[in-house]
Structure 1
């Protein structure tokens, strides 16, 4: 018997170990640069009048910029960056600039609160200096393993405190406690949960804003707090957490209103803000959090009073069992609805860490459903030993689910289209082909090819794009302008020659001055 008890006590520890292994070693950006004019690595006869950067998701209206630097590292762009009405495009006017290499650096804040920054190089004039040093400008440093772990742990603890506090208050308004000693214990635990929520809200805010200040200066804190969904959500969460000590546990209607408002405030900071329509995605997220609070808070209620108030818990179990079952159904439904709203194709679940963690979460929710059914059966059979054991398992599974939520809320649901950089070298030939951003629609295509054999020049280059998912779609030729025959040639064009998402093959044909043709191919995925 003692050995069994020790084994069951190890369940929460094993669950926490599992959560530790799930913590990502890096943070993935959410918004992604979808189109850039001028495109990266462009060689231009003259710089355009403005730079236009388009992203695949909505951006915040505050804290966005485009800066242009010359080869000496001096900023040459002076005017303010502007944003389009749909909050997906930013533009920067440019002065007249001499020939040379220029680094275009951008910083934006995605609608779900993640800072995005990057840079790329363009050249004016054909005879420009090497770009190696320019490409090192504004390199974005990946967060350390320790930093990523601390941020993930802070989010997990915050979600746990939020759900348990909200759920505790919900059950306190539904389940009337008559016994004076138990009522005092309930109020005491409520204060502990409120304190935990306040501390974790402060902690998560600290790590989020510390991350943001790597991209922006301290004097931009106030616009960040008052002009972005992230800042407003955190400020209101802080205010509600503090006011909770004075307002809660006085009136039933006020407790329920507090729960609704704090869950709504949380929902305006996250994935729901980045996808359309935001009113629907936020409403689904609030309902999802409400259902999770009922289940998690009820479990914690049972866990807290199981030893000293067992008779009360017995009377509570039927109501909780029914509410938990409905909550699980709501969690499944809202989770599925959010997934379909977030992802253009359901198959993308297998292409991201977000999707993999969501599938793991769904599997654990099924385990919770099975455990709940067995728990209900054990309650009818009055098997207290089995009930206690199953409650520990159910509570441990809840910890794992909350841990997954704390991790995958900081990951992007959408797989990221990385630019294609294809380089090959053979005995007599070397070439580099790039496609940016390698997304459906307009892209920048570039091919550089050179002969490694003396006396042999490159005569012609052709690039074909083959759509593998539908054989009825004929290969699409990228119509490069004919370049002058030379030992090294450079082809470049912008156009909509990748019209679909899916599996593609790039086929490059290079003809030399002796009419020898080399055919090369590579496969890539467009999301």
Structure 2
């Protein structure tokens, strides 16, 4: 009896030590996440690199040519509902399974521990759900990708899974989902490694892979996924303990609330970092469905933090978790996962067309280009051709006016001389090039360019060019 009691307390002490180790690990993740924010590059006026985006496009990687027949129909179809339902189920299963594996290191290993017995039982169900969700996720995504192509050909499925970075990551997720059943029989250390591997594979997927230099983005995404699993998986465990055994819920709440607030910090820092890397300008948050859903997610996370604070305060007072607060936290988490399952599939940048306008005349030719032609910073290139006897312009003025907001002052574009590419040449004319970077277009809609060119003879030409940046 005495040995059993001593063993029980020793096991509890070991569990507390592992909780401390996990806490220190999360603190390290916080330092890494905030350190990453310090090395973020400046926002670029260019859209996501075309070459990198093509490299990430599964169709391009297997030699498919996009077809105009494969356009999206208006409205939401039953297939799309199933598609996003499969994504939501997958993210739920991913968070549950990986979260349980991560939290297993702080659950007492004593076989007499009620929490350990419950965890062993739930881990099997979580792994089954993950395998089922992963299979459904991959099936629906391949079906969606091959729509309009030879989707009934098994060779196309095989090529997509083996010859594309996206398919390879899906294949790795399926393999890890199967290996998870073997890992359940191993020690908690192997479970921890399995969960980290799953997060690593998942981080090599999504929008960040379209970035020209995605190393930092992958690191931030990995931190984001690991901390998401700690938070969501831990909350789900707490809810399950609360329904099965209230005393165990109280014990686990002490460990969970101690770490949960730190995971929120990492989630915030890593999320901000990825947004900075993905978006050319913060204005894009208000002009895309992706941005609006991200803002909604941010509001929900703030509510989660407030709820978590109340739960943490009860845990510090030695009280059992409040059922209503737990259910509210669970509901908020479900809403976050649903939003994540949708907005991670949407494009973070609006589908804008760069402006390229060329005009020819008897005594003047000019070309103006605005890239990416969206809200936020843009790059402007201007080429002017004047008769050789006149030479370069005496002065050039370029102004941008938001037509939809006439009361706003026009933007005076600071032009500087540039050495442009001579992709066009006109006999008897001299080419002069100008450029300007980080020209802020504050809103989307209709704009007007006012171009005033004064030549060496004193003659002045005024040109007005209308365009849209949406």
TM-score (norm 1): 0.60
* Contact 1:375–1:387 (Cα < 8 Å) also in 2: yes
What are the superposed Cα offsets for residues 121-169 of structure 1, whole Å, 9 maximum, x if unpaired?
A: xxxxxxxxxxxxxxxxx34321561222221111111111001110111
Query: Mind listing any 5+ residue stretches in structure 1 that lack a counterpart?
Result: 1-32, 36-52, 66-79, 82-105, 108-116, 119-137, 423-433, 446-463, 483-494, 510-517
What are the superposed Cα offsets for residues 467-513 of structure 1, whole Å, 9 maximum, x if unpaired?
A: 34632547x9xxx999xxxxxxxxxxxx998976543414699xxxx
Structure 2 CA distance, aligned partners of 1:505 and 1:139?
34
* Contact 1:187–1:249 (Cα < 8 Å) also in 2: no
Query: Which residue matches 1:166?
Result: 98
* Contact 2:100–2:234 (Cα < 8 Å) also in 1: yes
Query: Which residue matches 2:76?
Result: 145
Q: Structure 1 or 2: larger helix share?
A: 2
Instruction: Give the direction of change, closer, same or farther, for the CA distance of 1:466–1:472 in structure 2 (3 Å limit).
Output: closer
Query: Which residue matches 2:129?
Result: 196
Q: Structure 2 residue aligned with 1:417, among 352, 357, 362? A: 352
> Is 1:393 aligned with 2:328?
yes
Secondary structure in structure 2 of the residue aligned to 1:414: coil
Query: Which residue matches 2:400?
Result: 467
Secondary structure in structure 1 of the residue aligned to 2:468: strand
Q: Structure 1 residue aligned with 2:213, among 262, 277, 298? A: 277
Structure 2 CA distance, aligned partners of 1:410 and 1:444?
36
Structure 2 CA distance, aligned partners of 1:154 and 1:413?
21
What are the superposed Cα offsets for residues 204-230 of structure 1, whole Å, 9 maximum, x if unpaired?
A: 111111112125433333221112111
Q: Structure 1 residue aligned with 2:160, among 200, 210, 224? A: 224
Secondary structure in structure 2 of the residue aligned to 1:145: coil
Query: Which residue matches 1:187?
Result: 120
Secondary structure in structure 1 of the residue aligned to 2:351: coil
Query: Which residue matches 2:313?
Result: 377
Structure 1 residue 303, shift from structure 2 partner: 0.7
* Contact 1:379–1:387 (Cα < 8 Å) also in 2: no
For the aligned residue pairs, the C-alpha RMSD in angstroms reads 3.9
Structure 1 residue 190, shift from structure 2 partner: 0.9
Q: Structure 2 residue aligned with 1:175, among 89, 93, 107? A: 107
Instruction: Give the direction of change, closer, same or farther, for the CA distance of 1:366–1:506 in structure 2 (3 Å limit).
Output: same
Aligned ranges for residues 106-117 of structure 1 at < 5 Å?
107=65, 117=66
> Is 1:64 aligned with 2:60?
yes
Instruction: Give the direction of change, closer, same or farther, for the CA distance of 1:249–1:276 in structure 2 (3 Å limit).
Output: farther
Report how many aligned residue pairs link the two structures: 362
Secondary structure in structure 2 of the residue aligned to 1:325: helix
Structure 2 CA distance, aligned partners of 1:209 and 1:196?
20
Secondary structure in structure 2 of the residue aligned to 1:467: strand
* Contact 1:198–1:241 (Cα < 8 Å) also in 2: yes
Query: Which residue matches 1:450?
Result: none
Structure 1 residue 327, shift from structure 2 partner: 0.5
Instruction: Give the number of the structure with larger relative contact order, counting CA–CA contacts within 8 Å between residues 6 or more apart.
Output: 2
Secondary structure in structure 2 of the residue aligned to 1:224: helix
Structure 2 CA distance, aligned partners of 1:392 and 1:438?
45
Secondary structure in structure 2 of the residue aligned to 1:392: helix
Instruction: Give the direction of change, closer, same or farther, for the CA distance of 1:34–1:180 in structure 2 (3 Å limit).
Output: closer
Structure 1 residue 372, shift from structure 2 partner: 1.2
Structure 1 CA distance, aligned partners of 2:248 and 2:201?
34
Query: Mind listing any 5+ residue stretches in structure 2 that lack a counterpart?
Result: 1-45, 358-367, 384-396, 402-409, 418-423, 427-432, 442-446, 453-461
Aligned ranges for residues 476-495 of structure 1 at < 5 Å?
none
